[in-house]
Amino acid sequence: MPSTTAAFPGVPAAAAPSRWREGAWSGVPVLRVVHGLAGALHAAFIFFACFAFSDTSPYDVVAIPTILLWLALGIRLHRGAMPLVFLLLIYLGAIVVALVPYLDEPLPVTWTVQLIYLVVTGIFFAMLYADDTRARLEVALKAYTASCVLSAFLGIVGYLQLLGIEDLFYRYGRASGTFQDPNVFGSFLTLGALYLMHGLLSGSSRRPFLALTSLVVIMAGIFLSFSRGSWGGTVVAVAVMVGALYTTSGSGRLRRRIVTIGLVTAGLGLAALAGLLSIDSVAETFQTRAAVTQDYDEGETGRFGNQVRGMGLLLEQPLGMGPLQWRLIFRLEPHNSYIGSFANGGWLAGATFIALVAATSFVGFRLMARPSPYRAHAQIVFPALLMFFLQAMQIDVEKWRHVYMMLGMVWALEAARLRWAGSAEARLARPSHGGPGRPERGGL
The 3-state secondary structure of 378-434, one letter per residue? HHHHHHHHHHHHHHCCCCCCCCCHHHHHHHHHHHHHHHHHHHHHHHHHHHHHCCECC
| Distance (Å, whole) CA 195 – CA 365 | 17
**Cα–Cα distance list, 399 to 104, 114, 367 (Å):** 22, 8, 26
The alpha-helical segments, DSSP class H, found in 315-400 are 325-330, 337-369, 375-391
| Distance (Å, whole) CA 321 – CA 313 | 9
Helix axes 182-202, 401-429, angle to 10 degrees: 30
Q: What is the pLDDT along the chain (444 residues), one digit of tens a residue?
A: 444 544 444 444 444 444 444 455 555 677 788 889 999 999 999 999 988 876 677 888 899 999 999 999 989 999 999 999 999 999 999 999 999 999 999 999 999 999 999 999 999 999 999 999 999 999 999 999 999 999 999 999 888 887 766 577 888 888 888 888 899 999 999 999 999 999 999 888 889 899 999 999 999 999 999 888 888 899 999 999 999 999 988 777 888 888 888 787 777 777 777 776 777 667 777 676 665 555 555 545 556 667 777 777 888 888 889 998 888 887 777 888 999 999 999 999 999 999 999 999 999 999 999 999 999 999 999 999 999 999 998 888 888 999 999 999 999 999 999 999 888 665 665 544 433 333 332 333
- Tell me the HSE value of 235 on the side-chain side, using a 13 A CA sphere: 8
- Contact at 8 Å (CB) between 141 and 148? no
Amino acid 14: pLDDT:
46
| Distance (Å, whole) CA 336 – CA 385 | 16
Task: Check the CA dihedral 395-398-400-404 and report its sign.
Answer: positive
Q: Taking the mean position of all CA atoms in its chain, how far away is CA 195? A: 12
| Distance (Å, whole) CA 90 – CA 348 | 8
- Contact at 8 Å (CB) between 180 and 170? no
Among residues 424, 286, 348, 338, the alpha carbon closest in space to that of 96 is found at: 348
**Cα–Cα distance list, 176 to 118, 167, 221, 258, 389 (Å):** 23, 9, 8, 32, 21
Among residues 315, 309, 180, 201, the alpha carbon closest in space to that of 257 is found at: 201
**Cα–Cα distance list, 73 to 28, 37, 51, 69, 134 (Å):** 17, 11, 27, 6, 18
Q: Taking the mean position of all CA atoms in its chain, how far away is CA 379? A: 13
Strands 174-175 and 170-171: antiparallel
Among residues 142, 143, 7, 132, the alpha carbon closest in space to that of 62 is found at: 143
**Cα–Cα distance list, 411 to 79, 131, 132, 233, 362 (Å):** 10, 12, 14, 21, 11
| Distance (Å, whole) CA 192 – CA 143 | 9
Amino acid 304: pLDDT:
65
